[in-house]
Structure 1
Amino acid sequence: FYDRVTDLTQFGIEKNADQVGLAAAGVVGAGVAAHAAVSALKAAQNKAQSRKEEEV
C-alpha cells in the first residue's frame, strides 16, 4: 500500500542547524577571546598602577 518515495527534495533542516551552530560557536569564541583580552589589559593596568603607588 505504501511505497518509499525517494525523489522528494528535503528542506535542509540539518544543514541550517549546522550553520546556526557554527555561527553560535564563532560568536561565543569571539566573546571569550574579547573577554580574555580585556581582562589581560585590565590586569596589566592594575599591575602598572600598583607599581607606581609603591614607588611613591
Structure 2
Amino acid sequence: MKFFFTIVLLLCCITIANAQKDTLWLDKNWKETNKENAFFIETLYKRKENYIVLMTFI
C-alpha cells in the first residue's frame, strides 16, 4: 500500500511539472523583476481548460 501511494504521488508531481507554463519573479512592490531580486514567485499552471496560479513567498 505504501508503494502505491508513492507511485501516485510521483505521478502527480510529474504531471504538475509537465503542465507548468510560466513563472514570474516579483519584488516587494509586486513589480516584475529577476530571480536574484525576487520577493515572491508567481507560477502559472494550465490543467486542461483551467489555470492554477501558485503564489510563493521567498
TM more than 0.5 = no
Which one has a larger percent helix, Structure 1 or Structure 2?
Answer: 1
Q: TM-score, normalised by structure 2?
A: 0.37
Choose between structure 1 and 2 for higher RCO, CA contacts under 8 A separated by at least 6 residues: 2
Q: TM-score, normalised by structure 1?
A: 0.38
